[in-house]
Amino acid sequence: MSHLAHIYIDESGDLGQFGSKYFVVAAIIVDDPLELKRIIKKLRQRKLKKKIKDLPEIKANKASHREREYVLTRLNGAKCTLFAIAVEKNKIKSRLFSFKDKLYNYLCGILIKKLSLDCQELKITIDKKYTNTLIQKDFNNYISSKISAKYPAMKVFIIHEDSSKSNELQVVDFLVWSISRKFNTGDDTYFAIIKDKVSNKEDMILWNA
């Protein structure tokens, strides 16, 4: 059992009733965040064109094929665990779209319940989706309750961080983008790189949210 584990969470898609067909949430569990930090650091040093090296954030949807392949290949070889869920939005009850923050909490809670954790303390860093502190607090309370129900003795810390300031969250962006692309466009070129690293790859789709 490790003393402290880190989870980085990001989503792809939207929670409007229309738009993307699938909404995806993904997580990376890692003991040492340097495993993820180095991926983006080395991408900047070795792979990026000079004109975009100084951009504050590297996004998968704007990256080249070579850059996407590099990040996902390095992630596949890193000492970490990947989890994800994909929900087909037409399976979601229409009334829930009026409560997007609650729906988002609920979907993240489902993802959290799928995680296999073996640590005394857990630090969760999530891409800052909401700036409203009350919504953030509601998310924190909801997720903490899900973890406490499964791991009563575990200490949980949750941080909402701007992904432009986190190399780790930028790696998760590539992960969740590759999964979203698989489900929303049918292109599994990138997902295939990390497929065997996703612990619940046979159980990603939610049919009854």
Q: At residue 209, does pLDDT exceed 90?
A: no
Q: At residue 111, does pLDDT exceed 70?
A: yes
Per DSSP, the residues of 137-202 read HHHHHHHHHHHHHH-TT-EEEEEEE-GGG-HHHHHHHHHHHHHHHHHHHS--TTHHHHGGGBTTGG
pLDDT tens sequence across 112-131: 988 989 899 999 999 998 88
Tokens of 97: 């779209």
pLDDT of 24 reads 97
Q: At residue 37, does pLDDT exceed 60?
A: yes
pLDDT of 187 reads 96
Q: At residue 207, does pLDDT exceed 70?
A: no
Average pLDDT over residues 185-208: 91
pLDDT of 51 reads 55
Tell me the pLDDT band of 208, cut-offs 50, 70 and 90.
low
- Residue among 138, 147, 161, 140 at smallest CA distance from 110: 147
Q: At residue 48, does pLDDT exceed 80?
A: no
pLDDT of 186 reads 95
In the predicted model, what is the mean pLDDT of the chain?
A: 92
List of residues 6+ apart from 89 with CB closer than 8 A: 13, 15, 17, 19, 20, 21, 22, 23
- Are 180 and 190 within 8 A, CB to CB? no
Tell me the pLDDT band of 206, cut-offs 50, 70 and 90.
confident
pLDDT of 131 reads 83
pLDDT tens sequence across 139-195: 999 999 999 999 999 999 999 999 999 999 999 999 999 999 999 999 999 999 999
pLDDT tens sequence across 50-107: 656 667 788 999 999 999 999 999 999 999 999 999 999 998 888 988 999 999 999 9
